[in-house]
Amino acid sequence: MKKIKFILGLVVMGSLISGITFAGITNFASVEYMNLAGEDTTTSFSNFVIAYFQPGISNVSGNPPDFKFSPNNDANKDTLTINFTIVDTDSIAETIAVYIYDKVMNLVKTIKYDTEVPLTYCPETGETKVDCVATWNGDSGGLIVPSDTYIYKIEVRDPEGSEAIPNTGTIVLDITPPFGALLINNGNIYTNILNVTLNISASDTHTFPEKMFLSYVSDFSTGGTLSYSLTYPWTLLEEGVNTVYIKFIDYVGNISEGYSDAIIYDPNFPTGSVSINSDATYTDTTGVVLYFTAINTHTDFDSVVVSNTSTFVADQIETHTYSNTLPWGLTGDGEKIVYVKFIDKEGNISLTVYSNSIIVDLTPPDTGLISINNKDTFTNSNTVTLQISAGDTLSGVAKMVIDNTSAFNSDKVNTYTFNNTTSYNTEVAQWVLESGDNTKTVYVKFIDAVGNVSSVYSDSIIVDLTSPDTGLISINNKDTFT
């Protein structure tokens, strides 16, 4: 029996024998009742109004509540359930359907109560209020549709043809994983601190990054799931290369591929050495070349700090990008020491100050002396003995050159080598002077260990090789007798 509300234009006195019946769909009805005499009576009338009521859709909700799901079979928001209530005062709904459309309103899926395999469970109880459930697993024609925003539309029609105002809303179907990046300490290559900061960024096409999984290992067999954040404090495991791995999980459970970044943890201080001019002892110029050797466990070298003072006074130091050699300037004569500190790329500074020294000798040998036969005035031989002395307070006398000409170009020129002595005295025996009588001069110059040439020193002697060539003797002044 269909329930219809109506208004009678006639007040009937007596007892109701049976229900109200209608003849077709006209405004005609009859009422059977028992009159006061106890007789069954039928009264027909047509002056009444039939009122059909429109069904309504209410209490629409989703699971997930925001209608965002991911049919990727990970047991997390794999299906969308749409719950709603149908209310109809005068009849129960006859046709219930949920339609799924894409953004341009192409029909993607129809979920109807009267389908052979109903996806909507709406039991027909004869009541005027029915709770319904529609479930969509993201398919269309047996295939999962692409990630996108979709539109659902709930339609209800009762047997009298009255239709509810459709209820519509949006659905986000997301099977696209998020993507992102990971940096350790903003991409630094090195650190000397065990605790670092992970700089994290991620995006998602249809929902948003909700969680992240961090691990020390690339297979993510260990680690933990955390709420997504732009930074995260992290403790490195060991010296050397440390790699951190991350995956992102969006709101509906899609998991990204793995991302990673590495950093070198180096808490060690660099060590090394410095030499000047390849460990030369002397130099005749203030411009030298420093040679560095440096050792560090994990980190490359970044710079070297060089100074001519052990205190590294600010205005007397220079910092240079590290290389194996460095041109360097010294000042003045004497022993010069260069001091060095090494800095690696993480900023570790060598605890030891390394140094090397060299003697700068810009001054020629400054004392010299030569004498012939101990300063004799005469000699009756062309072969003499030379007494020679010289001094050089820096690199020392290394050589002397002797000749009978000041140009040092005769065939008798001779060079003598010494052991870089700072004070030198020697004799040169059997030195042959220029031939013949007369004054003979010998010249000498000294060369120090770095090649500085002294002034020319000399001494002279008179060579007399001729016997007296006139002579006279008389007895008693030439007297004939005595």
pLDDT tier, 93 (very low <50, low <70, confident <90, very high otherwise): low
Query: Which pLDDT score is estimated for 113?
Result: 63
Q: What is the mean pLDDT of residues 118-145?
A: 72
Name the residue with higher pLDDT: 426 or 113: 426
Q: For 133-160, what is each residue's pLDDT tens digit?
A: 899 999 999 999 999 999 999 998 877 7
- pLDDT of 112 > 90? The answer is no
Q: What is the mean pLDDT of residues 329-354?
A: 90
Q: What is the mean pLDDT of residues 434-461?
A: 94
Query: Which pLDDT score is estimated for 256?
Result: 96
pLDDT tier, 408 (very low <50, low <70, confident <90, very high otherwise): very high
Query: Which pLDDT score is estimated for 2?
Result: 33
Contact assessment for residue 162 and residue 149, using Cβ atoms and an 8 Å cutoff:
no
Measured distance CA(313)–CA(307) in Å, rounded: 8
Q: Is 304 helix (H, G, I), strand (E, B) or coil?
A: strand
Query: Which pLDDT score is estimated for 117?
Result: 32
DSSP class of residue 314?
G
Contact assessment for residue 161 and residue 155, using Cβ atoms and an 8 Å cutoff:
no
Query: Which pLDDT score is estimated for 311?
Result: 87
- pLDDT of 106 > 70? The answer is yes
- pLDDT of 23 > 70? The answer is no
Name the residue with higher pLDDT: 286 or 2: 286
Dump strand ranges (E) for 146-258.
148-157, 167-173, 179-184, 190-191, 195-203, 209-215, 224-227, 231-235, 240-250
Measured distance CA(164)–CA(195) in Å, rounded: 63
Query: Which pLDDT score is estimated for 285?
Result: 94
Query: Which pLDDT score is estimated for 28?
Result: 52
Q: Which two tokens stand for residue 132?
A: 């319904």
Count the neighbouring beta carbons within 10 Å of the beta carbon of residue 295.
Answer: 12
Q: For 235-261, what is each residue's pLDDT tens digit?
A: 999 988 999 999 999 999 999 999 999
Q: Is 249 helix (H, G, I), strand (E, B) or coil?
A: strand
Q: Is 30 helix (H, G, I), strand (E, B) or coil?
A: strand
Burial of 463 (0-12, 13-18, 19+ CB in 10 A): buried
Residue % of the chain over a pLDDT of 70: 85
pLDDT tier, 31 (very low <50, low <70, confident <90, very high otherwise): low
Q: Give bridge partners of residue 437 from the DSSP assignment.
A: none
Q: For 353-387, what is each residue's pLDDT tens digit?
A: 999 999 999 999 988 999 999 999 999 999 999 99
Q: For 312-337, what is each residue's pLDDT tens digit?
A: 877 778 999 999 999 999 999 999 99
Mean of the per-residue pLDDT values of the chain: 85
pLDDT tier, 64 (very low <50, low <70, confident <90, very high otherwise): very high
Query: What length does the chain have?
Result: 482
Angle (CA) 237-243-248 rounded to 5° is 115
Strand order in the sheet with 129-136: 56-63, 80-87, 129-136, 120-121
Count the neighbouring beta carbons within 10 Å of the beta carbon of residue 341.
Answer: 21
Q: For 259-299, what is each residue's pLDDT tens digit?
A: 999 998 988 888 899 999 999 999 999 999 999 998 877 77
Query: Which pLDDT score is estimated for 4?
Result: 33
Q: What is the mean pLDDT of residues 148-176?
A: 91
- pLDDT of 15 > 60? The answer is no
